[in-house]
Structures are given as structure tokens and as C-alpha cells.
Amino acid sequence: CGSANTLDNISPMTISLWIRPFSQGEGIQSAIIGKNTSSGGSVALRFNSGSLYALRFTKGGTTSLNVVTVNNVVTPGKWQHIAVRWSGSTLATTVNIYVNGIEYGYGTQTNGVTLASDAGNNFVIGNSGDGSRTFDGEIAEVAIWNAYLDKSDIQSLASGVARMPLQIHKESLRGYWPL
């Protein structure tokens, strides 16, 4: 499920997926999922450039909302669950990034200013919208909700039960790709 308009400007938002990266990908900042291009609004989850296996959530604006985990939260070659929840606010403290149900510390938290629309961008899994940040690995069980799921939901998603996203808050599930 998930069509172009159901994925536009989702706020609040929770993203859930499983990844097995073999490296940090193209340019050491591969895109995991997102609606992003070099121009206009965007929303993306990717590896952070200049960091070692740190995750970055970005929502574009005149000043983009950016939250980057500390290094080494992701282990190459292993399957791990990633979840991001964002309240829809411009405040970086309203973004939480979890790996296997655990929220690690953050190296960077930048508040956003005047967040921009992402409606003109396609939703892409495993690369950036312009094809310049290829993910090197496997991605599965991608789900996006128009809701700020609670920690117990994140932990249930990280439990590894197949198709779990279809059982949690179905009314706000905007897209699900088992891959």
C-alpha cells in the first residue's frame, strides 16, 4: 500500500524497516528511504556523511531539521530493525531514532525552520531521488505511519515478527512494502 499522495507531507510520522547494510553505500551517505531531491522539500533516512555507521533523519526547510545518531549504531552485515518517529514539530528533540528497539544518543540535533513540502518528490527505497546515494545491502518490511507511535509499538516492531506493521495502528498506516 502507499501511493504518491498518501505519502505527501506526513506529519507526525513513524518509519519502521529492517536493514542489512554491507557498507555505508555510495558516497558513505547512502539513502535508506526518502522523498528527496537536490531541490525542494524532502524527508529522508540515510547514513550520515563523515560519520561511521550513524543514521540521519532530515526534513527539509529553509533550515532543515536534522537529527544524527552517534557513530556505530548500525552493524554492517547483520539484520537490524530501524525506527524513526517524528512529532511533526521543527524541534529536533521530537525526533527519536531506534536501532533494535533501543534509542541511542545523538551527535547532532538541528532544529528546522519553515519546513518545506515534499509533495513534488517521489518516494524511493534504497537510493536518493536523483539516484546518487545507492544503499549497499538489503532492506525489508518498510512501513510508514501518519502517527507518532509509542515506544512499546517500536519494541513490538523490533521483535522480528513478520508483517508486524500490518497489526499496529492500521488506521494511520500510509505505506507498507514487505520487499
Mind listing the pLDDT tens digit for each residue in 121-140? 889 999 987 788 899 999 99
Cell 501518519 belongs to residue: 146
Q: In what order do the strands lie in the sheet with 80-86?
A: 102-103, 95-99, 80-86, 13-21, 137-145, 173-177
Q: Residues 141-179: pLDDT tens digits?
A: 999 999 999 999 999 999 977 677 888 899 999 999 998
Question: What is the helix (H) or strand (E) element at residue 58, kind and residue range?
Answer: strand 55-59
pLDDT of residue 2 exceeding 50, the answer is no
Q: How many residues does the chain have?
A: 179
Task: Indicate yes or no: pTM above 0.85.
Answer: yes
Q: What whole-number percentage of the chain has pLDDT above 90?
A: 63
